[in-house]
Amino acid sequence: MPPKKRNSGTTQSKGLKPSAESASPDKKESPELSLKKHRDKDAEFVTLCKTLHVTDLVCDRAWTLWKTIQESMDEVADNQKRLWGACLFVTVTDMDVACFTLTQVLKAVSLNVKQFMSLVRKLDVNLDTISTKVNSALTRLEKKYDVTLALYQRFEKTCKKIFALVADGKERETMRSCWTMFLLAKGRVLQMDDDLVISFQLLLCTLELFIKRCPPDLLQPLYKSSISKVQSPPTRTSRRNQSKAKSRPPEPEMDVQLLETLCKENECNAEEVKNVYQTSFSAFLDSLDLSRSPDFPQVNDLDQQYEEHYLKSRDIDGRLFLDGDETVLVPKVEILQGERTPKKNLQDEDAVLIPPQTPIRAAMTSIQQLRGDLISSGDQPSTNLDTYFKNCTVDPTQDVLKRLETLEQAFSQRFGQAVGPRCVILGKQRFTLGVRLYYKVMEEMLKSEEKRLSVQNFSKLLNDSTFHTSLLACALEVVMATYGESSFKTGGYNHGGGDQAETDVCFPWILDVFKLSAFDFYKVIESFIKADPTLSKDIVKHLETCENLIMERIAWRTASPLFELLKQEHEGGAAEQVETPASFSQPLQHNHTAADLYLSPMRPGHRALPPESPATASSQASSQVLTQPAGQTPRPPKSNSLSLFYKKLYRLAYTRLKILCSYLLSSHPELEPIIWTLFQHTLQYEYELMRDRHLDQLMMSAMYAICKVKSVDLRFKTIVTAYKNMANTNQETFKHVLITEGHYDSIIVFYNQVFMQKLKTNILQYASTRPPTLSPIPQIPRSPYKFPNSPLRVPGSNNVYISPLKSPRMSPGIMTPRSRMLVSIGESFGLSSRFQKINQMVNSSDRSFKRTLDLGSAPKPLKRLRFDVDGQDEADGSKSGGDSTLIQKLAEMSSTRSRMQEQKMKEDAEARKE
């Protein structure tokens, strides 16, 4: 028998009345709170505990936490009952006991999800108030809520297009059954239930089931006509008149025509949805014994089964979205921001409205773009790539194919383990897309190398297994990021979050799957981005964040080859050669490609490579050894990969330090270069302190140390509070710091027991009359990567941008929805009369003429222009000189375009020289 359920405080369907008894294991110890044991506590707090069915132990610990918070806070601004609810949530999460669900505590303290999450995080007034376990649980719940909200909003809009309004309100009942079934399916099919794309595909499968079983009068015309003839359910009368021997054939598992209509209307790839249906949704229907039934599932049965799942998961009751319940309502401010997307105001026949960019639409658009860019790429090497393989001294073709076969099996199996047991086939789909991108980028890389080096034999590079594995890993990371499955919610940490590591495919998951070192993976990132100009800005930023995570923490894991390279450099007496401080002030410019970095010197025997070929992709390594002066002991050649890594590391480190100093030491600007000197010294000479630690741990320790010796009052608590406001930070960084092997503690303990002990002599030098020489400040570029597809702002303007056309699929009308005329360089403009119109507009002072520059349509009402420089709009008549300002903007646009063209020609000329 299923366990008895307590009242969740939610709006239940008529047929389901769960009892108030909890299924929590703690109830066996203390079925009911003992009021006698808690006379020392506030009566209202005890009442709240009784309402939420907590045990005596939970009550005691939550009260102790509350007293700690009360003492730490200057004033308790929030409602006490709400803070108590937050304390109880933190306590049961830390203890991992099932006393109540998130929805139950939200209702008990009258807060919605976002308000409650914010309140819990406010409790973290000390370094140890909120554990990393609680923070992980909060992050997971918040992501799941955001995904469920996005799905429900799309579900409601889609249902309005599917179901017709009828007098008895039957369509609402159908929606409730459909939504509840979807929630149950998502909970059972997906282990990683915050996956937006697969969840949405499951939702379409659920809608398909309900549409094909709906009475025709309940459907809108489009979906009524989309149901296949063979799928049309017979009437109950005809069903009863049929004998068992003459019953119609079993209903097919899915209506392909109907599913394709749903996918088309929702901009979703039909083949992917069909696979989700066949592999996951059909199995779910079988588990409910619904695969062949022509009837609707019973809402009471669905409610009961979902109730069990919801109580077990202890989070949000997803049925509340149907009721507009205040605990799951989204703040009105967020709704308004989501609907603020500008709409096209053209009145031409081809004018289109740009819909709001919802999370689901953004995901579907990104996936369509990726798949579109890979249409011409096959699952096998292209003719050009095959030629490169055949030109090698040792043909890598068979090794490449065998490696892909092995890695596909590893990837799809681990994907299924993380996302859901029946999602292995989906993992294979992701892998196939990754292989196409891998071949595409590899070919572009080799073309670039051929042009750069004038060679066609890349035997050494193309037989390097690490290069291929890294390139494939990067391609798969792009695919998973496009599908929204890889992000940085854990910051690369996998401990302290219960089973989070098992249900998390966020970076660096792919490195663990392929057993690939982060240091090797970093070598391919920049070349990958340069080789594929179709990557969106979001994906480029994603890869850049991957690179930063590698430099901050992941490359410093104990088994990393980075430590071996550093050891070689220092043993060779070349510690200063890793990256000379004198070069800090120079721009981050280098000519190293992935080929240079993978063929960069390594310890002999560290990586097996084929015999030397007559012409390889890089000759720099050998030339460095040959140029050693006669009579001197040959020193190991300098590693390009290590040198470039440290160049980027220093620039990242200084950038983060500068941000933190701006928060905390604006009144002491003289301290920033001193802190940087200590920080840089630590990274260069005491790099062992980075082993299994984070770059920011050394940064915060260096800041505290210098402030201490310079008698500036700055506590670690203050540093940590400011640090939490920085981008891409994780509280594990200051709460879970390695002290000794296997032992972790807060950053304060790390500073006292490790950092200060190691650097005490060096730190004290900064208090002397002869402090160490200051390290030069690195020059910080905006980003090491160029975004060729990003709009460039016209100098001196507020809202004038020049944006190159990315692909033929993106029409100028979609790129600039507010424009009435657009000139796109590289695309046919049409009649020459249009250029004459522009010339007339620039030379004419007649405002009415400019307003009718829509090539023949009727005059439009004057809109407020966004060319204001002084804070006023020229179109409202509040300042003169509107025409001259507009002419000036157009002139600046022309000038900027000319400069861009000149720069492009210059770059091409330099490339030819190289």
Q: Quote the crossing angle between the two packed helices 671-685 and 695-709, to the nearest 10°.
A: 130
What pLDDT score does 74 carry? Answer: 66
pLDDT band at 57 (very low <50, low <70, confident <90, very high): very high
Q: Which residue has the higher pLDDT, 356 or 214?
A: 214
Nearest to 83 by CA among 55, 111, 104: 111
Provide the percentage of residues in the chain whose pLDDT is more than 70.
67
Tell me: the pLDDT tens digits for 739-788?
999 999 999 999 999 999 999 999 999 988 888 999 999 877 666 565 54
Neighbour count for residue 174 (Cβ, 10 Å): 22
Most confident of the following: 568-577, 583-592, 774-783: 774-783
Q: Do 127 and 720 touch, CB atoms closer than 8 A?
A: yes
Structure letter (DSSP) for residue 744: E
pLDDT band at 667 (very low <50, low <70, confident <90, very high): very high
CA distance 711 to 69: 30
| Tokens (6 digits) for 625 | 């050894």
| Tokens (6 digits) for 321 | 């979205």
What pLDDT score does 617 carry? Answer: 52
**Could you give phi then psi for residue 745, rounded to 5 degrees?**
-155, -170
What pLDDT score does 828 carry? Answer: 55
3-state secondary structure of 266: coil
What pLDDT score does 45 carry? Answer: 94
| Tokens (6 digits) for 752 | 């006292």
Q: Does residue 864 have a pLDDT over 60?
A: no
Helix H segments across 163-277?
Answer: 170-189, 196-212, 221-226, 236-241, 256-265, 270-276
806-819 burial, b if ≥16 CB within 10 A, otherwise e?
Answer: eeeeeeebeebbee
640-766 belongs to which homologous superfamily? Answer: Cyclin-like (1.10.472.10)
Tell me: the pLDDT tens digits for 220-242?
999 988 887 654 444 343 344 44
CA distance 658 to 652: 10
Quick one: average pLDDT of 141-160? Answer: 94
Q: Does residue 507 have a pLDDT over 80?
A: yes
Residue listed under structure tokens 């903007």: 889
What pLDDT score does 396 carry? Answer: 97
Please give the C-alpha separations between residue 882 and each of 726, 852, 888, 909, in angstroms, as whole numbers.
Answer: 42, 17, 10, 41
What pLDDT score does 859 carry? Answer: 38
- The answer to whether the bond into 508 is cis (omega within 30° of 0) is yes
Neighbour count for residue 857 (Cβ, 10 Å): 12
Helix H or strand E segment including 129: none
Least confident of 6-20, 349-363, 634-648, 874-888: 6-20
Instruction: Name the residue ranges covered by the structural domains of the chain.
Output: 43-130, 140-229+253-323, 359-557, 640-766
43-130 and 359-557: identical CATH topology:
yes
Neighbour count for residue 633 (Cβ, 10 Å): 7
pLDDT band at 825 (very low <50, low <70, confident <90, very high): low
Please give the C-alpha separations between residue 475 and each of 97, 405, 461, in angstroms, as whole numbers.
Answer: 41, 16, 18
Q: Do 251 and 292 touch, CB atoms closer than 8 A?
A: yes
3-state secondary structure of 862: coil
What pLDDT score does 862 carry? Answer: 32
Least confident of 8-12, 256-260, 373-377, 546-550: 8-12
Helix H or strand E segment including 678: helix 671-685
3-state secondary structure of 739: strand
Tell me: the pLDDT tens digits for 599-616?
865 433 333 333 333 333
What pLDDT score does 836 carry? Answer: 66
Q: Which residue has the higher pLDDT, 192 or 733?
A: 733
Q: Do 528 and 663 touch, CB atoms closer than 8 A?
A: no
Please give the C-alpha separations between residue 368 and each of 430, 484, 487, 567, in angstroms, as whole numbers.
Answer: 14, 13, 19, 47
Is CATH 3.90.245.10 what the domain over 359-557 is classified as, yes or no? no
- Virtual torsion, Cα 355, 359, 365, 371, nearest 10 deg: -170
Q: Quote the crossing angle between the two packed helices 518-531 and 424-453, to the nearest 10°.
A: 70
Provide the percentage of residues in the chain whose pLDDT is more than 90.
51
What pLDDT score does 216 carry? Answer: 87
CA distance 49 to 55: 8
- pLDDT mean across residues, the chain: 78
The partner residues of 738 in beta bridges, in order of sequence, read: 744
Least confident of 375-389, 485-499, 539-553: 485-499
pLDDT band at 595 (very low <50, low <70, confident <90, very high): confident
Least confident of 57-61, 546-550, 580-584: 580-584
CA distance 302 to 173: 13
pLDDT band at 909 (very low <50, low <70, confident <90, very high): low
What pLDDT score does 569 carry? Answer: 86
Topology of the domain covering 43-130: Cyclin A; domain 1 (1.10.472)
Least confident of 4-8, 77-81, 297-301: 4-8
pLDDT band at 589 (very low <50, low <70, confident <90, very high): low
| Tokens (6 digits) for 127 | 């370094």
What pLDDT score does 910 carry? Answer: 62
Quick one: average pLDDT of 542-571? Answer: 94
Residue listed under structure tokens 């109830």: 27
CA distance 299 to 301: 5
CA distance 645 to 690: 14
Neighbour count for residue 869 (Cβ, 10 Å): 13
Q: Does residue 415 have a pLDDT over 60?
A: yes
Nearest to 91 by CA among 131, 139, 58, 132: 58
Q: What is the model's pTM?
A: 0.78
Domain 140-229+253-323 CATH class label: mainly alpha
